[in-house]
Amino acid sequence: MLEAVQISDIIGIDILGNLSAHYARETSAMGFPDFSHLAPEMEFIFPATTLEPTTVTPDMRVQPTHTYDDAPRDLDILLVGGPLLTHRPEAAARFMREAYPKTKIVMTTCVGALWLASSGVMEGTKATTNRFALPIARQMYPEVEWLDQRWVVDGKLWTSGGAGAGIDMVATYALQKFDPEFVKAVALEPLDFDPSARGQFYKDSA
């Protein structure tokens, strides 16, 4: 979900993209090592209110693939980026409510957790959001246990703080889900991402 979001919040999809069969075929054709036996077929969809180009920061126009009304609900991963708190299309809320129970892994980055929480699906969960937005989150959605961590995993729900924490969270998920050497070779090292450099917890946390 990228409509009106901070583009850095959704950069983690590039890690997943590097693990796809399409990317493996392209890179092996260029002479790089062939990881196609480890790379699954992936389809990336980008829903928005309409199919008109939507805006992400900084004034970049992106072409959606689906509307919230016709996007599939039974996803492997749903990644929710962070728009301003004034961006709350009802169609998006309906999409999140319907997709949440059917989707295997739901991830949020930055204040995307507040967008997801606004749909009513996060009651009783442990979660985090941008560190500076935690007081707002606790006030707006007291039914969620908001933790001061770079990222939090509660069952299928993965939530992160700011964009950098979101990248580390997606990288950590990839290392757990896929062959770690494959992930390092085609995604983390080429993109110069290292989720262990700062870890899951803030250095000044108790």
**Predicted confidence (pLDDT) per residue in 14-70, tens digit:** 999 999 999 999 999 999 899 999 999 999 999 999 999 999 999 999 999 999 999
CB 169 within 8 A of CB 109: yes
- pTM for the predicted model, two decimal places: 0.96
Q: How far apart are CA 132 and CA 138, in angstroms?
A: 11
Give residue 204's pLDDT band: very low, low, confident or very high (50, 70, 90).
confident
Please give the average per-residue pLDDT across 78-92, as a whole number. 97
CATH topology of domain 7-191: Rossmann fold (3.40.50)
**Predicted confidence (pLDDT) per residue in 160-181, tens digit:** 999 999 999 999 999 999 999 9
Exposed e or buried b for every residue in 94-113, given b needs 16+ CB within 10 A?
ebbebbbeebebbbbbbbbb
Quickly count: other Cβ atoms within 10 Å of residue 78's Cβ.
Answer: 23
Query: Domain ranges in the chain?
Result: 7-191
Listed in order, strand segments (DSSP E) in the chain are: 47-48, 54-56, 60-62, 66-67, 77-80, 105-108, 126-127, 145-146, 151-154, 157-160
